[in-house]
Every structure is written in C-alpha cells, then in structure tokens.
Amino acid sequence: MRLKKLFLILIILGLLPLSVFAGENPSINGVFYRVPDKPYKFDGKTVEVIEFLSFYCGHCYTFERSIPVIKGNFPKKIKWRIVPIYWGEGSSKPGEAYFLAEEAGKGDQMKTALFQANFVEKKDIGKVEVLDGIAAKLGLGFDFSRRLRAGEKVKDAQKALEMAKAYGINETPTVIIAGNLMTNPDMFDHNLDAFRDNVITVIKSILNPGK
C-alpha cells in the first residue's frame, strides 16, 4: 500500500511515467490511465480497442479519420469495438440504429452515415424518420425501421451507458486498450493528432515489447 502511495506521489510530481501502472506489462509506453478493477487483456496476438463515442460529438467525428491510420499500423492485429453513448439532451436512437446495423453486418457504414448526417448534412439524427432514411440508403429495409421504432435496442443503449460508467468515462472519444488502459484527448489538450499518435504508441509497445 505504501509503495502504491509513493508511485502516486511521484506521478503527481511528474517524476514517474504513467506507464509504470501497466500492471502485467510495466514496459508499456505512452500516456494512459489504468482503470481500477479492470483486468489487462492481451492474448499475445491481437489487441482489443474499445472506443466510446457519441454520434453528437465533434471530436469523435474528427477522430474517425485517424482510425484507419491506427489500424493501418497494425494489419490484422487490432480488434476495434464501438460503444456508442450519448450525453445530456442527446437521443439514444442513433446508438440503437448503430446496434441494429452492426447486427446486420453494416455497423461501420452506419457509423459513417450517422456522422455524415449530423455534421455535414445537419440533420437531426435523433429522429426516427432521419434514421429510416439513412438505413434505406444502406439497404437495411423495412425490418430495420420496425425494430428501431419498437425499441429493440433500447436495452443495448442503456448497457452502453452503464459500461461507460463502469469504466469511468467522462468524455468522448475515449479508448480502452487491452482491457484497462484508458486514454482520451483531454490528456493532450484535445490535440487529436497527438491522441492518435499516443494510441499507436501504446498498441505498438504491447505488440512489440521492449522496442
């Protein structure tokens, strides 16, 4: 217990890097926070990255263009998972639409279309009619509309919020790498390029320890 307190004091004073708290792999580089009570997970082959995002979030929209860059550095080595949440007066419907599309194998297309509709086309993505139109363009059809209106994914949207709370998420985008390594743009004064580079640094040190 005393050793942990000493580490915390040294971090606050800037004398010890956050990567010391990598737990099972103390050599991990980069800036991150280890989420308490969440285990580090790495099977030696593939790194799981969980991205908490909001379809109403401008930084999430901007960060989208960085994801192919991150994945491109590690072909077939990353399992990227999306957890859509919403803040304040935002609607859960975009997240529900994403879950339905993901189930149909079109999650990535729906994610892109939702950001496009909100930030480029300036549409209200909280309206079912708007989501119906997006789904139709993706070829999801009448069944999508029926299930969305019936609220079939309301529980999934709620579980996403509960998951965010369990991880202590307080801004989007936030990524959780290898089970418990959390990083977000706030750690870089919301410089999304620096945030992207940090994600790459963390993943690289997990996949290639000591390099």
pLDDT for position 190: 97
pLDDT higher than 70, residue 10? no
pLDDT for position 2: 45
pLDDT for position 87: 84
pLDDT higher than 50, residue 14? no
pLDDT higher than 70, residue 22? no
62 phi, psi to nearest 5 deg: -65, -40
Measuring CA to CA, how many Å separate 76 from each of 27, 73, 173, 205? 23, 10, 22, 16
Higher pLDDT, 79 or 89: 79
Q: Which of 70, 80, 62 is nearest to 191 (CA)?
A: 62
- 125, 93 Cβ separation under 8 angstroms: yes
Q: Measure the CA–CA gap between 169 and 149, rounded to whole angstroms.
A: 28
**Span 175-199, pLDDT tens digits:** 999 999 999 999 999 999 999 999 9
Q: Where are the domains of the chain?
A: 1-85+169-211, 92-168
Extract the tokens encoding 210: 């000591």
Q: Which of 18, 65, 44, 67 is nearest to 181 (CA)?
A: 18
Q: Measure the CA–CA gap between 74 and 61, rounded to whole angstroms.
A: 22
- 116, 108 Cβ separation under 8 angstroms: no
3-state secondary structure of 211: coil
3-state secondary structure of 117: helix
3-state secondary structure of 130: helix
**Span 29-70, pLDDT tens digits:** 999 999 999 999 999 999 999 999 999 999 999 999 999 999
**Span 118-152, pLDDT tens digits:** 999 999 999 999 999 999 999 998 899 999 999 99
Extract the tokens encoding 88: 């304040």
pLDDT higher than 70, residue 7? no
The class level of CATH for 1-85+169-211 reads alpha beta
Mean pLDDT estimate for the chain = 90
pTM of the entire structure?
A: 0.86
